[in-house]
Amino acid sequence: MAGEAFLIIICPANYFRYRPLRNRDTGQGRGSSMRKSLAAMLAASMMATPLMAQQSAMVPDDGDWPLYARDHAGQRFAPLADITPENVDQLQHAWTFRLRPDGGGGILAGTVPVVVDGVMYMPLGDAVVALEAHTGRELWRHAVEGATIRRSVTYWPGDGERAPRLFYSKGNALVAINAANGSLASEFGDGGVMEFEGTAYSYPPSIFRNVLVIGALTPEISEGPSGNSRAFDARTGEKLWEFDVIPQPGQVGHETWHDDGWRNRPGANMWVWYTTADVETGLIFMTLGSPGPNYWGGDRPGANLFGNSVVAVDAETGEYRWHFQTIHHDLWDWDLPAPPVLVDVEVNGETIPALAETGKPGLMYILDRRTGEPVHGVNEMLVAAADVPGEYYHPTQPIPVKPEPLSRMWWDPTDVVTAEDTNAEHAAACRDLLASYGGTFFNSGPFTPFFFHEEGDPPRASINLPHNGGSNWGGSAVDPTTGYIYVNTSESGSIGWIEARDPEGNYGRGTSGSAQPYDRGSLSGPGAYSSFSASFTDENGRNVNLPCIRPPWGRLVAVDGNTGEVAWASKLGTTPELGEDKQDTGSNNTFGGPMVTAGGLVFIGATSDGILRAFDSETGELVWSEQLDYAAMTIPMSYRGADGRQYIAVLATGSAFGPPVLGPDRRPANNEMLITWALPE
């Protein structure tokens, strides 16, 4: 199949989205067009405020960061303008907080604190702490036993009768504590603890008015526990609703599961740790992963709703409103990680309440958030099929007209690094790797399939781009005053085939015990984690593994949501091991995402080089950076302290999957930190 061309054409059928049962008129309160003045910025922030205890939306203080992504729209937009491109180079460390002096700080990668009324609340794995947000002084500490909590804690402002609370999950129970002192909120559940039935979920619940929403963490196997989303009352812990992510008989989408493939099917779960919502309509937007198992779907023929879909439901009742499926019958483990970010866009003189969803394929879908209809167009495109026994290959996949793909989706042998790109040793290792597969890979562009390989056959491998993002759980940020959507993307290529499953083989996390007959493999052995990358030894004797496709390997991209065009794209990350003259490559930035401020700055960590950066939000120019001891594999935040200053904050923890940073004694330093910056007083 090497070098074989494959025709991709537009299919007029528009069956990637199924009509909602009811389509309410939710066009009221759409807002104005491009907001430039301070008054208009305030109006924009009002449209993106969290749903609080009352039925009407309340406006958060501009200086607060009360949710993981700051507001229910998920915009990660701090309406603070003290720090600008002109003065950002004056930032100084304000205070730091050592996360886990006894070790284990790497588990807090991806964690974002919340700040309300000058107090910062943060999980530490074995505790929740409250800190004075302008000094870092510890106010109280709540010990956690029998679980490890991370990512964030959920703040609920109370309802007039009940005081503000914080929530976290122990995997099979939600816990409520009083925000004032960290004591258990006894009116919730059984003395502050509410055990829930069904599949475990170890992350904090999302909060909408008085509704707590959780997802599910399912194994990636052929039969297993349900991935249903559930909701509970934040006041009492009472269960409110459960949404069937695998449609049951009589439900919308059930017809997309052929041959009873829906029975006992795990997956299609919301595994990420927050959701977004429209405060005008009361809709929440669940992003659901792929059905199990990941790489073989012969026992689940059909499009497999609601796998790989954005699903809009009523926050109070869980009632289905609409969905948009980004992948039909996923065979690549390209589940939807990050929730969509909400933004109003101006198209042909009309203001459209929209959302933007990104994912691992490197595509961005901009949809009308009232209906799920594409704003700038989506075409069903014919894609290639392979030859795995019993497999179902969906003939088309939805590709946006705009924006253009944010990551490479095509490959040919000319896209292999040269010595000029990296160095002679790495380029030779890449050529050797390619030669071991017969000198080429099969690639048909978007959604390239993997072919069947039997033991003893010559290697016939596919390469599918991008590998592991695209955009992962870091997701997007939005400046509501311009409609610019900011997203970080990584580049690489997944290589290999499908093989008969070796019962003794390790096919990856969560796959043990699967009854599926086929799974991913490569020359490296069982599993799906073989990428088109190769290693060399640097001048310090370290083994360095880098992609074999030509740089850049990471970018920060700004998309104009109003037009669907890419406004700018800047390299994100470096490869210091290549030396000063070649290190400007961009780098893997899978674990982390951007934050934008009214001062005109996009802050982002995420990169493997451990640098926190600030870009001019209008031009993409890099205007500030600082090398950290640990990479910031999370999302930065900004807030105003009780002293009136604007702060930038981020957890710098590195990755729990990488080697620890060692101290002078060659033992783990355990200096993972929450770091804050501010302008000089």
Report pLDDT digits (tens) over 648-664.
999 999 986 778 888 88
Q: What is the pLDDT of residue 448?
A: 97
Q: Mean of the per-residue pLDDT values for the chain? A: 91
**Which one is predicted more confidently, 24 or 117?**
117
pTM (2 decimals)?
A: 0.92
Which tens digit of pLDDT belongs to each residue from 302-321? Answer: 999 999 999 999 999 999 99
CA distances from 260 to 254, 323, 644 (A): 10, 22, 60
pLDDT at 476 over 60: yes
Query: Per-residue pLDDT averaged across 391-406, rounded?
Result: 98
User: Can you tell me the distance from the alpha carbon of 270 to that of 340, in angstroms, rounded to the nearest whole number?
Assistant: 13
Percentage of the chain beyond pLDDT 70 is: 91
Query: Per-residue pLDDT averaged across 400-423, rounded?
Result: 96
pLDDT at 357 over 50: yes
Residue 381, helix vs strand vs coil: strand
Which tens digit of pLDDT belongs to each residue from 18-55? Answer: 333 322 222 222 233 333 333 333 334 333 333 333 34
Residue found by looking up tokens 């370290």 in the block: 542
| Residue 85: closest CA among 572, 618, 676 | 618
Confidence of residue 510 (pLDDT cuts 50, 70, 90): confident
Q: What is the pLDDT of residue 204?
A: 98
**Do the beta carbons of residue 151 and residue 593 sit within 8 Å?**
no
Which tens digit of pLDDT belongs to each residue from 663-677? Answer: 889 899 999 999 999
pLDDT at 464 over 80: yes
CA distances from 349 to 32, 34, 280, 345, 400 (A): 11, 11, 21, 10, 21
Residue found by looking up tokens 């459960």 in the block: 242
Q: What is the pLDDT of residue 60?
A: 73
Confidence of residue 150 (pLDDT cuts 50, 70, 90): very high
pLDDT at 355 over 50: yes
Least confident of 121-125, 126-130, 335-339: 335-339
Question: Token digits for 95?
Answer: 């205070």
The residues, ordered by sequence, that sit 6+ positions from 160 with a Cβ below 8 Å of its Cβ are 53
Which tens digit of pLDDT belongs to each residue from 527-573? Answer: 998 999 999 998 888 899 999 999 999 999 999 999 999 999 999 99
pLDDT at 637 over 60: yes
Q: What is the pLDDT of residue 43?
A: 37
* Helix, strand, coil % over all residues of the chain, rounded to 5: 5, 30, 60
Q: What is the pLDDT of residue 36?
A: 34
